[in-house]
Homo-oligomer: A and B are copies of this chain.
Amino acid sequence: MDFSIPPAAAALLAELRAFIHQELLPREPALLRAGFLASESELDQLRQRARRAGLWGPQIPKELGGLGLSLLDHALVSEQLGYSPFGHYVVGAQAPDAGNIELLHRYGSDEQRARYLLPLAAGQLRSCFSMTEPEHPGSNPTQLSCAARKGADGYIIDGHKWFTSSAEGAAFAIVMAITDPDAEPHRRASMFLVPTDTPGFVHVRNIPIFGHAGGGYDSHAELRYEACRVPLEARIGPEGAGFQIAQERLGPGRIHHCMRWLGICQRAFDLMCERARTRELEPGVPLASKQTIQTWVAESRARIDAARLLVLHTAWLIDQRGFAAAREQVSLIKFHVAELLGQVLDRAIQTHGALGLTDDTVLAFFYTRERGARIYDGPDEVHKAVVARRIFSAAARATRLEGPVR
């Protein structure tokens, strides 16, 4: 076992950290005040600086102009980027585009690659991923209603989606729709690339979340597909392969999210320590002298460090043995890190007192923006049940082979 980070990765991480601290953090308060939509041009300038610094596309394959990092290295990068809400965006590693790039790279046709993937990887356009439906629990992807009927010259898509993040301003959506309702559940759906200017692609609203509908990249749309016609070539991968493709999109995405959350944890931790050290309860008596704060700091440190190793180990396992070998770990890290994120943010806010409720620190932003971590990609409660069943099956197998547990 060797826990050291290789020199090349360490150098990249150092550059990244410098970029975030010198270029991004000083601009962050103004960017947050203005919002993503109004900040697009400033963010584009930051993207250009990142590109010049050789930081563009850490997870993007080299042939598409990125750094082509291993999953483990990308994990370490994603943690650094998570430190700021704008981190992933300025190096082109933001969801949902990151997942869509990978998906199209693996399954896209030559035309799809040329027309959509290349400019997407270059940051010239944006995309969205349209799967969740309000009428069905996101935790059960066999419960979709959105359907794509096949006609002579293409498919007609009808359906109702929501939480299609970043749909406003996106050039295209990747849509999951039922193509064969009578197939066995995991073969029912297919994926389609639907340009957002296709007739029948209806943007109903940006859903207001904790009082904010947001806009542009920073929005979550409710959409309707109303007799939305696409050609046969709009399908991504084979018919019925929708779930399988979505699954494959999941593994790296999970690592990406968990390390991003750990980056946020680290930011909250740093702010908590800073506030504790500098806020005086009375002259000469800092908040840091209080045992409750000390307890929060110590517990947070241990939990962040442990969770970080758990995710890095999972990334390493996928790198070494593929996603299928790490299925259990990929479920574990989801709920483990999402819960931790909620706790660390809550304690950091409480440490700040009234200030923590205000937009004068980034904590309030993270507190609402990341409350969804315990919900999206399947609520934590579902992940726990799923992974436990997997563990019970493995235990049953082991017992058959090795005899009873004592």
Q: 8 Å CB contacts to B: which residues of A264-306?
A: 270-271, 273-274, 276-277, 279, 281-282, 287-288, 290-295, 297-299, 301-303, 305-306
> Is A41 an interface position by the 8 A CB rule?
no
Copies in the complex: 4
What's the Cα separation between A317 and B270 when bound, in Å? 23
Could you mark each residue 338-370 of chain A with 1 if its beta carbon is under 8 Å from any beta carbon of chain B, else 0? 000000000001100111111110001101100
Q: Are B359 and A209 within 8 A (Cβ)? A: yes
Residues of B with C-beta under 8 A to A364: 209-211
Residues of B with C-beta under 8 A to A320: 4
> Is A395 an interface position by the 8 A CB rule?
yes
CB distance from A339 to the nearest CB of B (A): 9
> Is A405 an interface position by the 8 A CB rule?
yes
Q: Are A357 and B371 within 8 A (Cβ)? A: yes
Known contacts A281-B137, A282-B140, A302-B310: A353-B332 contact under CB 8 Å? no
User: Among the listed stretches A42-50, A112-120, A231-239, A382-390, which one makes contact with chain B, having 4 or more residues with CB under 8 Å of it?
Assistant: A382-390
Q: Are A210 and B379 within 8 A (Cβ)? A: no
Interface residues of A (CB under 8 A from B): 1-6, 21, 25-26, 28, 72, 132, 134, 137-140, 143, 162-163, 207-212, 270-271, 273-274, 276-277, 279, 281-282, 287-288, 290-295, 297-299, 301-303, 305-307, 309-310, 312-313, 316-317, 320, 328-329, 331-333, 335-336, 349-350, 353-360, 364-365, 367-368, 371-372, 374-376, 379, 381, 383-385, 387-389, 391-392, 395-396, 399, 402, 404-406
The 3 closest A-B pairs by CB, nearest first: A294-B388, A309-B309, A298-B384
Between-chain CB contacts (< 8 Å), 14 pairs: A1-B72, A3-B313, A21-B402, A28-B406, A139-B281, A163-B354, A207-B359, A209-B364, A273-B391, A273-B395, A288-B392, A305-B313, A353-B375, A353-B379
